[in-house]
Amino acid sequence: MADPDLQQNPRLNTVAPRPQRALLVAVDLSDRAAPLAPEFAEFAALARATGVVIVGEVIQKLPHVDPVTLVGSGKAREIAERAKELDADVLMVFNDLRPRQRINLEKAVPLPIVDRTMLILDIFAQHARSREGQLQVELAQLRYRQSNLIGSGIALSRLGGGVGTRGPGETKLEVDRRKIAARVTLLGRQLDEVRKQRATRRSGGGRDPYVALVGYTNVGKSSLLNRLAGTGGNAFVADQPFATLDPTLRRVYIGEGRSIRLADTVGFITALPKELINAFRATLEELDVADILLHVVDASNPDWPRQRASVETILGELHLADKTTLLVCNKIDRLDDAARAALPPDAILVSATANDGIDRLRAAIVARLDTLRSA
Ligand SMILES: Nc1nc2c(ncn2[C@@H]2O[C@H](COP(=O)(O)OP(=O)(O)OP(=O)(O)O)[C@@H](O)[C@H]2O)c(=O)[nH]1
Ligand SMILES: [Mg+2]
């Protein structure tokens, strides 16, 4: 962060004496097409990945969200009491919040509010390593604040402090808005510069076919890259959402004297914030030059069909829906024979960690490349 004024109150930036205590809140709309349970579990995983301790959860069933406070007003009072009892420091709200609902809920429950998008942005901020990645995340964070009227008082990890501390008053917000706009312009220019440099580097790359791993976050894309690349793999692997942010490219031998360039990419998630898609668009649209996409799913997660559909939606938004794609079902070491047999017949079954099916995957890539070449 170049502008110190955009940062959080320095008093709050000192190392927290204990992890932040989060109370999770959700409105359950009992939508049969999109049941709450799997998405709420994912939300909790996102919360934990930011380093908070979850001290409780409040879920309210409603036919519609309350236009004023999101939850009903009685529920808002109940949340305030629970938060006090549990000594919570931050409210993490699952559902999308309009600016007005955010302000009203913050009045009813005097705690900073962090929503799902802010969590995702926070994790991205913690994990971005490359200059381009860091610029992209900061741009996404600022754009999100701009469109949701959130002042810089909400400290996300890279700005120091924990996730979500008190927002500033109105006047500060006005000043912030001008500064944020100026910073957004500057970041945009810096990103253009970094991207030009990267494009120059990339054009020096080899002629081997280009294959990209895509898929939901935490399904094992980086593990597969490591397995396929052998000793040269060393991509970062972790059991947490968004371990990989920066694209990695490795040369991989696929047999018959042939190699490919294999790219690892940032994982996707349901309703990936549009600010992030826009900020990462340039990186993601590079997938357009891929000859084949390997769509990796975690077949051991009962929720994988939903995850697969989300990834396909995002690929569509990136105009990549028509790419040649192989479906790769990973983590089959966790499945019994019956569960394996129930997977789609065209899928390639593998386990990156148990080193199972990797030769089949190599052969499938070779075969598909041959089909493409003869087409
Ligand atoms: N049981 C099992 N676990 C696996 C397998 N492949 C990966 N994992 C685990 O799944 C977790 C996520 O693996 P990653 O390779 O980091 O997943 P990713 O898709 O790159 O995740 P992001 O970069 O966060 O999107 C790690 O804990 C891996 O050890 C597998 O075949 N079987
Ligand atoms: Mg990864």
Q: What DSSP line would sit under 173-217, residue for residue?
A: HHHHHHHHHHHHHHHHHHHHHHHHHHHHHHTTS-SS-EEEEEEBT
Residue 232: which domain range? 210-374
Domain contains 204: no
Look at residue 283 and give its three-state secondary structure. Answer: helix
Asked if residue 241 belongs to a domain, the reply is yes
| Residues facing 258 on adjacent strands | 255
Element spanning 225, H or E: helix 221-229
Residue 201 included in any domain: no
| Residue 281 or 369, more confident | 369
Phi-psi region of 355 (alpha: psi -120 to 50; beta: other; left: phi over 0): left
CA distance 318 to 288: 9
Determine if ligand 1 sits within 6 Å of the CB of residue 98. Answer: no
Q: What is the mean pLDDT of the chain?
A: 86
Q: How far apart are the CA of 62 and the centre of ligand 2, in A?
A: 37
When pLDDT is cut at 50, 70 and 90, the band that residue 164 belongs to is very low
Tell me which ligand sits closest to the C-alpha of residue 353.
1
Does a structural domain hold residue 202?
no
CA dihedral 38, 36, 266, 53 (to 10 degrees): -80
Q: Residue 239 C-alpha to ligand 1 middle, in angstroms?
A: 6
* Cβ partners under 8 Å of residue 160, min gap 6: 7, 8, 10, 12, 13
Is the predicted pLDDT of residue 80 greater than 90, yes or no? yes
**How many Å apart are CA 342 and CA 302, to the nearest integer?**
12
Q: Are residues 170 and 218 in the same domain?
A: no
| Ligand 1 within 6 A of CB of 353 | yes
Query: Do 294 and 169 belong to one domain?
Result: no
- Give a yes or no: residue 273 inside a domain: yes
Same domain, 57 and 144: yes
Tokens standing for 315? 């690929």
Q: What per-residue confidence (pLDDT) applies to 17?
A: 60
Residue 44, token pair as written in the block: 């909790």
pTM for the complete prediction?
Answer: 0.85
Residue closest to 305 by CA, chosen among 30, 26, 35, 49: 35
**Measuring CA to CA, which residue among 96, 110, 98 is closest to residue 27?**
96
Q: How far is the CA of 321 from the centre of ligand 1 (A)?
A: 24
pLDDT digits (tens, 9 = 90+) for 114-153: 999 999 998 988 888 888 888 888 888 888 887 776 654 4
Closest CA to 155 of 115, 92, 101, 112: 112
**Would you say residue 282 has pLDDT above 60?**
yes
First-to-last CA distance in the chain? 50
CATH assignment at residue 25: 3.40.50.11060
Boundary of a domain, candidates 175, 197, 224: 175
Do residue 238 and residue 340 come from a single domain?
yes
Q: Last residue of some domain: 175, 192, 227?
A: 175
Residue 181 resides in a domain: no
- The predicted model gives 15-37 an average pLDDT of 87
Q: Which residue has the higher pLDDT, 369 or 192?
A: 369
Domain total for the chain?
Answer: 2
pLDDT over 50 at 6, yes or no: no
Q: Is 118 in the pocket of ligand 1 (CB under 6 A)?
A: no
Kindly give the distance from the C-alpha atom of residue 229 to the centroid of ligand 2, in angstroms, as a whole number: 14
- Specify the amino acid at residue 291: D
With a 6 Å cutoff on the Cβ, whether 242 touches ligand 1 is: yes
Which one of 216, 268, 294, 353 would you pick to mutate in the ligand 1 pocket, going by the greatest count of ligand atoms within 8 A of its CB?
353
pLDDT at 165: 40
- 53 within domain boundaries: yes
The arithmetic mean of pLDDT across residues 60-71, rounded, is 95
Q: Which atom of ligand 1 is nearest to the CA of 216?
A: 25
Residue 145, classed as helix, strand or coil, is helix
258-264/292-298 β-pairing: unpaired
The per-residue pLDDT for 300 is 98
Predicted confidence band of residue 280 (pLDDT cuts 50, 70, 90): confident
Q: Supply the CATH number for residue 217's domain.
A: 3.40.50.300
Residue 114 located in a structural domain? yes
108 and 153 housed in the same domain: yes
pLDDT category of residue 18 using cuts at 50, 70 and 90: confident
Question: Does ligand 1 lie within 6 Å of residue 248's CB atom?
Answer: no
Q: Are residues 61 and 120 in the same domain?
A: yes
* The last residue of a domain, from among 158, 175, 192: 175
Considering the domain architecture, whether residues 138 and 230 belong to the same structural domain is answered as no
* Mean pLDDT, rounded, for 168-183: 66
Note whether 333 and 246 are same-domain residues. yes
4-13, 74-83, 156-165, 245-254 — which one is most confidently predicted on average?
74-83
Tell me the per-residue pLDDT of 228-269, one tens digit each, with 9 for 90 and over: 998 777 888 999 898 888 878 899 999 888 999 999 988 999
The β-bridge partners of 255 are 258
| 217 and 69 within one domain | no
Instruction: Give residue 264 CA to ligand 1 midpoint distance, Å.
Output: 12
Verify that 230 and 370 share a domain, yes or no.
yes
For residue 300, how many other CB atoms are within 10 A of its CB?
A: 17
Question: Strands 90-93 and 53-61, how do they pair?
Answer: unpaired
